[in-house]
């Protein structure tokens, strides 16, 4: 091309558009915000490490001590019992509420109404004082003769009272969660099951509940994690669960902050474990919902690594 | 003429104030294919759903192979059957839905095995063998392990037909089996139904496919406003309809 023509375009254009270079936008504000956040986090971590108030040596001494580990075990037991019993009872109440019998459905509604209305801590204290209400519990014909009876404090110890309180409270919430899940299942599913002559209980267990689980699990996960932390209110009944023990210890030695950290650490660990479990349970009940099931985090990590190396 | 398999007698059905069926009589002989045509809202689907007692009738009765559906007669009274007994009766009646209603969380094979095992108490092994044979028959032998959502609409409906057949029912009911399908998938489902028709399965098919009615039906029934207006062989009802309403309907769909 001749260089002396005056019509020559000022910048030289590349012939092939595919060779054009893309210049990404510069996000200056985003970078500045990022830097500010990093500084804040660094300050916080520095404070955690250097501020003597945290007393990490005390934390280290107690976090795996026998008393605390035992207290964690009590917390886990309370959570497990209340979860299993609460959801069992809740499922029964949910189906009562969905029942065509107006009596059953009203009773279920009333149960949910009452137990959602009473603060858990109030209810727990009620159960703690059960023997004041009913001195003896007996088995017999309603309004008729009693075959045998026992002292209510012997039958229901403190732990028993806590489990009953947590369960009854949990069941009211679980009932609504299960009912929501059941309502989310397409009517056509029950119709198809009925048209095939599948027995009624089997329809619920095999067709409805597994599909309802998809809607139940995220909320149920919330509830169980809430319950795990909620068990800390049973300290009012002097049960040796995590929060109660921590209070007992710092009441004795005055190291409030590090011992609260001990409790925090354990609650975080337990909640994380529950979250992981929830992920895998949800994944299992998602079978058939997607054309290609999503990979597990491990599969995703492996794929990422192999893709990087190739 | 062979024996009457399905006998619908003076059936009335209302939803609230709306009367959907106003005295329907229908007889279907064993081994015959009956196609029910009619405009939307004419009560075709409701009629089909009363036959397997998914809807209770307000008046009249229905029997299949001589057995009253949903009731037990003693003297002049009809006693409602318990749900357990109604479910048992339904194993004699295959039902294919417009929206397939396959169980999405179960594989194709499990969809077919569920009812024979839980409703009829068949051994699982036997039910699986039957299921594989049926899937081969509808051309889906390679899909046993797939989940319904991984299949096309036409394939899903073929699985649903195989699922209904797995109970070896005395009669098969189809509720607009191709209405939810893309046009190019209609043919594969109709082929399966035609194939069943040739093997002498008693069937009642509610559909809008006039071509299918002409080809596969022994009897065409035209319904409008909750009554049977006209019925007879396809040549009579489709080509020389006697009633004005039938003529009006056919002129719109042909």
How confident is the model over B138-150, as pLDDT tens digits? 999 999 999 999 9
Q: Name which of B31, B27, B35 is nearest B9 in CA terms.
A: B27
A5 falls in which pLDDT band (50, 70, 90)?
low
- The tokens for A260 are 């609260």
Quick check: B103 and A202 CB within 8 A?
A: no
A137 falls in which pLDDT band (50, 70, 90)?
confident
Residue A2 has pLDDT above 60, yes or no: no
What is the mean pLDDT of the segment spanning A237-251?
Answer: 92
Question: Taking a contact as any Cβ pair under 8 Å apart, which residues of chain B between 124 and 163 contact chain A?
Answer: 147-150, 163
What distance in Å separates the CA atoms of residue B55 and residue B65, rounded to the nearest whole number? 19
What distance in Å separates the CA atoms of residue A124 and residue A114, rounded to the nearest whole number? 14
- The tokens for B241 are 């309809």
Cα separations (Å) of A15 from A2, A6, A7, A12? 18, 21, 18, 9
A151 falls in which pLDDT band (50, 70, 90)?
confident
Quick check: B163 and A196 CB within 8 A?
A: yes
In angstroms, what separates the C-alpha of A102 from chain B's closest C-alpha? 18
Quick check: A192 and B88 CB within 8 A?
A: no
Give B-chain residues touching A196 at CB under 8 angstroms. Answer: 90-91, 95, 114-115, 119, 163-164, 167
**In chain A, which residue ranges form alpha helices assigned H by DSSP?**
28-50, 56-63, 66-98, 102-117, 120-128, 130-133, 152-155, 158-184, 187-195, 200-202, 209-230, 242-253, 256-285, 297-309
The percent of residues in chain B predicted with pLDDT above 90, rounded, is 92
ipTM score for this prediction = 0.92
What is the mean pLDDT of the segment spanning A162-188?
Answer: 94
Render the burial of B156-169: b for 16+ CB within 10 Å, e for the rest.
bbbbbbbbbbbbeb
Cα separations (Å) of B81 from A105, B53, B84, B235? 23, 11, 8, 40
Quick check: B115 and A198 CB within 8 A?
A: yes
- A44-57 pLDDT tens trace: 999 988 888 888 99
Quick check: A195 and B99 CB within 8 A?
A: no
Closest CB to B118: pick one of A191, A202, A211. A202
Q: In terms of pLDDT, which residue wins out, A23 or B164? A: B164
Residue B53 has pLDDT above 90, yes or no: yes
Tell me the angle at which helices A158-184 and A102-117 cross, rounded to the nearest 10 degrees: 120
Give A-chain residues touching B171 at CB under 8 angstroms. Answer: none
A288, B147 in Cβ contact below 8 A?
yes
Closest CB to A197: pick one of B90, B107, B148. B90
- A104-122 pLDDT tens trace: 999 999 999 999 999 999 9
B189, B177 in Cβ contact below 8 A?
yes
Give A-chain residues touching B146 at CB under 8 angstroms. Answer: none
Tell me the angle at which helices A66-98 and A242-253 cross, rounded to the nearest 10 degrees: 150
Quick check: B148 and A288 CB within 8 A?
A: yes
Residue A185 has pLDDT above 90, yes or no: yes
Confidence at residue A309, expressed as pLDDT on a 0 to 100 scale: 57
In angstroms, what separates the C-alpha of A206 from chain B's closest C-alpha? 9
The percent of residues in chain A predicted with pLDDT above 70, rounded, is 90
Give B-chain residues touching A195 at CB under 8 angstroms. Answer: 52, 54, 90, 93, 95, 97
What is the mean pLDDT of the segment spanning B11-28?
Answer: 94
Give A-chain residues touching B111 at CB under 8 angstroms. Answer: none
Is B98 part of the contact surface with chain A (CB cutoff 8 Å)? Answer: no
Quick check: B95 and A202 CB within 8 A?
A: no
Q: Name which of B91, B74, B176, B196 is nearest B134 in CA terms.
A: B196
Other Cβ atoms closer than 10 A to A37:
10
B216, B9 in Cβ contact below 8 A?
no
Other Cβ atoms closer than 10 A to A91:
22
Angle at B47 between CA B46 and CA B53, to 5 degrees: 85
A1 falls in which pLDDT band (50, 70, 90)?
very low
A7 falls in which pLDDT band (50, 70, 90)?
low
What distance in Å separates the CA atoms of residue B210 and residue B17, rounded to the nearest whole number? 32
Other Cβ atoms closer than 10 A to A63:
18
Q: What is the mean pLDDT of chain B?
A: 94
- The tokens for B33 are 């294919």
Question: Taking a contact as any Cβ pair under 8 Å apart, which residues of chain A between 57 and 116 contact chain B?
Answer: none
Is A197 part of the contact surface with chain B (CB cutoff 8 Å)? Answer: yes
Question: Taking a contact as any Cβ pair under 8 Å apart, which residues of chain A between 205 and 234 contact chain B?
Answer: 206-207, 210-211
A75 falls in which pLDDT band (50, 70, 90)?
very high
- B159-209 pLDDT tens trace: 999 999 999 999 999 999 999 999 999 999 999 999 999 888 999 999 999
Confidence at residue A292, expressed as pLDDT on a 0 to 100 scale: 67
A32 CB-near residues (< 8 Å, 6+ apart): none
Element (H, E) at B191: helix B183-198
CATH number of B1-92+201-254: 3.40.50.300
Q: What is the mean pLDDT of chain A?
A: 88
Superfamily (CATH H level) for A76-138+147-242: MetI-like (1.10.3720.10)
Give A-chain residues touching B117 at CB under 8 angstroms. Answer: none
In angstroms, what separates the C-alpha of B79 from chain A's closest C-alpha? 20
Is A190 part of the contact surface with chain B (CB cutoff 8 Å)? Answer: no
């Amino acid at each position: 091309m001749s260089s002396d023509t005056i019509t020559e375009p000022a910048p030289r254009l590349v012939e092939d558009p595919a060779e054009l270079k893309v210049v990404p936008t510069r996000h200056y504000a985003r970078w500045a915000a990022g830097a500010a956040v990093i500084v804040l986090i660094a300050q916080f971590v520095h404070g955690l490490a250097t501020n003597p108030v945290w007393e990490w040596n005390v934390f280290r001494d107690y976090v795996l001590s026998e008393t605390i580990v035992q207290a964690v075990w009590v917390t886990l037991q309370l959570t497990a019992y209340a979860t299993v019993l609460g959801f069992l009872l809740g499922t029964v109440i949910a189906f009562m509420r969905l029942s065509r019998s107006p009596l059953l459905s009203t009773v279920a509604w009333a149960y949910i109404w009452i137990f959602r209305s009473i603060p858990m801590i109030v209810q727990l204290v009620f159960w703690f004082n059960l023997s004041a209400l009913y001195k003896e519990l007996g088995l017999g014909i309603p309004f008729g003769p009693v075959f045998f009876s026992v002292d209510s404090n012997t039958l229901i110890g403190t732990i028993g009272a806590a489990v009953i309180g947590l369960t009854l409270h949990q069941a009211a919430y679980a009932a609504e969660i299960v009912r929501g899940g059941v309502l989310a299942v397409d009517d056509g599913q029950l119709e198809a099951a009925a048209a095939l002559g599948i027995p009624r209980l089997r329809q619920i267990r095999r067709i409805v509940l597994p599909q309802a689980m998809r809607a139940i699990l995220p909320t149920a996960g919330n509830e169980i994690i809430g319950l795990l932390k909620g068990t800390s209110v049973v300290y009012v009944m002097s049960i040796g669960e995590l929060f109660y023990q921590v209070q007992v210890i710092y009441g004795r030695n005055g190291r409030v902050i590090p011992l609260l950290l001990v409790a925090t650490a354990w609650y975080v660990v337990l909640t994380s474990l529950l979250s992981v479990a929830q992920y895998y349970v949800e994944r299992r009940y998602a079978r058939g919902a997607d054309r290609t099931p999503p990979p597990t985090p491990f599969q995703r990590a492996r794929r990422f690594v192999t893709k990087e190396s190739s | 003429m062979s024996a009457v398999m399905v006998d619908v007698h003076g059936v009335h059905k209302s939803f609230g104030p709306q009367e959907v069926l106003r005295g329907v009589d229908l007889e279907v002989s064993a081994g015959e294919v009956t196609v029910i045509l009619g405009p939307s809202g004419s009560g075709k689907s409701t009629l089909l759903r009363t036959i397997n007692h998914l809807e209770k009738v307000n008046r009249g009765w229905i029997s299949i192979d001589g057995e009253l559906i949903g009731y037990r007669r003693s003297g002049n009274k009809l006693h409602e059957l318990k749900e357990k007994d109604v479910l048992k009766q339904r194993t004699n009646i295959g039902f294919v839905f417009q929206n397939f209603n396959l169980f999405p969380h179960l594989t194709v094979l499990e969809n077919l095995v569920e009812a024979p095992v839980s409703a009829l108490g068949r051994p699982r092994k036997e039910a699986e063998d039957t299921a594989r044979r049926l899937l081969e028959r509808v051309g889906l032998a390679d899909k046993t392990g797939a989940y319904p959502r991984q299949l096309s609409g036409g394939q899903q409906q073929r699985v649903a037909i195989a699922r209904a057949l797995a109970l070896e029912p005395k009669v098969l009911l189809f509720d607009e089996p191709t209405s939810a399908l893309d046009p190019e998938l209609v043919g594969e489902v109709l082929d399966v139904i035609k194939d069943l028709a040739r093997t002498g399965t008693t069937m009642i098919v509610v559909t809008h496919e006039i071509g299918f009615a002409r080809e596969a039906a022994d009897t065409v029934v035209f319904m409008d406003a909750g009554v049977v207006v006209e019925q007879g062989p396809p040549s009579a009802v489709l080509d020389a309809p006697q009633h004005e309403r039938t003529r009006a309907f056919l002129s719109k769909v042909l």
